Amino acid sequence: MARFTDPSKASPEIKGYDQMQRAFTALIEGLPTEIGAALYAEAQIERTESMRRTPVDIGNLRASHIVLPPVTKGADTTVTIAVGGPAAPYAVYVHENLDADHKVGQAKFLESTLKESAPFIAQRVARRIDLRRTLEGQ
């Protein structure tokens, strides 16, 4: 025979609530840092693939790829991959020139890399965070 208690008269007792709340707070506060680290690691992979696709004349353009450290503003964490700069100020021209006949590499070297990876980046970042937590025993 089942016994049901009127929920309005129940007085639930939650054990370990304070510890659980501290754990959730620590998890949430550390998340932007974890996301930033995972995004940075994934951006390094994207950088390497973009470099592989970059047209080569003397190598300055390929060598000019950099990944900037993560930046968190509010709920957003971003990582920037930059190409060109003073070493290769012609980067935009080479990247955008679809009519160029490159013996090595291709136009849209960075864009094509990022477009191909876009559907998978969130999953890769999440997997990287899960792996780190598993290794640290969290």
Say how many CA atoms lie within 13 Å of 118 toward its Cβ: 7
Q: pLDDT at position 132, please?
A: 78
* pTM check: above 0.85: no
Q: pLDDT at position 98, please?
A: 96
Q: pLDDT at position 60, please?
A: 96
Rounded to 5 degrees, what are φ and ψ at 81?
A: -105, 125
Do the bridges between strand 81-82 and strand 76-78 make them parallel or antiparallel, or are there none, so unpaired?
unpaired
Q: Where are the domains of the chain?
A: 32-136
Decide: residue 102, CB within 10 A, 0-12 exposed, 13-18 middle, 19+ buried: middle
Rounded to 5 degrees, what are φ and ψ at 54?
A: -70, 130
CB 61 within 8 A of CB 82: no
Q: pLDDT at position 16, please?
A: 79
Do the bridges between strand 76-78 and strand 71-73 make them parallel or antiparallel, or are there none, so unpaired?
antiparallel
Q: pLDDT at position 25, please?
A: 72
- pLDDT digit string (tens) for the chain, length 138 residues: 555 555 555 555 666 777 777 776 766 677 888 899 999 999 999 999 999 999 998 889 999 999 999 999 988 999 999 999 999 999 999 999 999 999 999 999 999 999 999 999 999 999 998 887 777 775
Q: pLDDT at position 7, please?
A: 55
